[in-house]
Structure 1
């Protein structure tokens, strides 16, 4: 497989929209990634705090961890280097601070592998059983298969994450639909810069610094009443 560096073509763009659709049957809607616990702890009480929480993770976690790792995973799959892909995917798991967040990665990775096998994406089947499987690795595999440029893939990934976080806030805070759209509108403008910053991160600088997320995730593991699995 060859990784594109130019803008994606129209069909590839539509494939990318499918891969980042909220309707994708991988169960991502079941996870809040710590947001539900942040609400329970009183850190998020309305749209202002929700925007600050999501925006902070976008800047300090997604752009420092997911984006650079996506670029490396795509490069590894483009040159058919499975060992490197496993290593980068394993690093993502190692940098997830809690058992709950690691379990989320593996569960979504399993669902992604099953979906890509069903869609006929070569190389997806072996990932369903690999200990290093992550949703990010399977997403990278699919984007390379469909000839999607790395910058386009990263931008779409962050958009899908932002939309999922806003949806979780809609249910957990709860926020009104208009308030959620205002949050999305404000934070979407930060995505291009987050992608540019993330693609410039050196290997030795990959890693996130979000202690509040780790605390929220740990607390969520023991939370009595939960809507989400993380």
Structure 2
């Protein structure tokens, strides 16, 4: 099957800068609005300090993101390259079905639809139909951008993990609260986890896709009805 990328993006430096744009905190998609259950976990006293937040995040990277999000990102990337719309739909639905709470499914769908709107404005017309798609996910549209902007999936996998870490650290700084320096220590520590997690996720075969983080699912479900909160449900 034919592999398709944008023939105008042959400059690897430009591809790298496009990736920086995708993971920039200024990307107008609303990632800062979500805590992924962290807000309830902090309210409940589960995450009282920097070390607890680091454990919370590393557990999700190792037991959820590297086992679900990264392998499905790789399959979505391949499907976009091969113009295999049926596979894009299938893997996007698979990723959505892996979210364990209404809140987590809504977060992924809203972010995916927001990224679709942005990519449409950046002349990726294939994103148009995903703006209201019920199975849109962040990884679905992120993979489209990787494919069309000639960004290697290996770099994209690390970048999507880094972006998740930045958003979680930003939430922890507000909620625990942590200082800005503590936030940077967290990112410095998590950077050493990301590479191995990305490689592991990319190497997984279909039968090995799957993982769970029960504490996150509990926290997310309870966050849906948390009385007072800063982050969206």
TM-score bucket (shorter structure)? over 0.9
Asked whether the equivalents of residues 65 and 206 of structure 1 are also in contact (C-alpha less than 8 Å), the reply is yes
Q: What is residue 146 of structure 2 aligned with on the other side?
A: 143
CA distance in structure 1 between the partners assigned to 2:71 and 2:88 by the alignment:
13
Deviation of 1:3 (Å) = 6.0
Report 1:39-188 matches (<5 A).
Answer: 39-188=42-191
Deviation of 1:102 (Å) = 0.7
Do residues 209 (structure 1) and 212 (structure 2) align? yes
Q: What is residue 229 of structure 1 aligned with on the other side?
A: 232
**Match 2:36 to one of 17, 33, 36:** 33
SS of residue matched to 2:67: helix
CA distance in structure 1 between the partners assigned to 2:227 and 2:76 by the alignment:
37
SS of residue matched to 1:21: coil
CA distance in structure 2 between the partners assigned to 1:2 and 1:52 by the alignment:
40
**Match 1:14 to one of 7, 13, 17:** 17
SS of residue matched to 1:123: helix
CA distance in structure 2 between the partners assigned to 1:15 and 1:71 by the alignment:
18
Deviation of 1:122 (Å) = 3.0
CA distance in structure 2 between the partners assigned to 1:44 and 1:16 by the alignment:
32
Q: What is residue 2 of structure 1 aligned with on the other side?
A: 4
TM-score by length of 2: 0.95
Extract unaligned runs of 5+ from structure 2: none
CA distance in structure 2 between the partners assigned to 1:199 and 1:14 by the alignment:
22
CA distance in structure 2 between the partners assigned to 1:197 and 1:157 by the alignment:
14
CA distance in structure 2 between the partners assigned to 1:101 and 1:118 by the alignment:
26
SS of residue matched to 1:32: coil
CA distance in structure 1 between the partners assigned to 2:60 and 2:12 by the alignment:
31
Asked whether the equivalents of residues 68 and 198 of structure 1 are also in contact (C-alpha less than 8 Å), the reply is yes
Deviation of 1:114 (Å) = 0.6
Asked whether the equivalents of residues 113 and 133 of structure 2 are also in contact (C-alpha less than 8 Å), the reply is no
Asked whether the equivalents of residues 3 and 75 of structure 1 are also in contact (C-alpha less than 8 Å), the reply is no
Asked whether the equivalents of residues 73 and 85 of structure 1 are also in contact (C-alpha less than 8 Å), the reply is yes
RMSD over aligned Cα, in angstroms?
Answer: 1.5
CA distance in structure 1 between the partners assigned to 2:54 and 2:134 by the alignment:
34
**Stretches of 4+ moved more than 2 A in 1?**
1-4
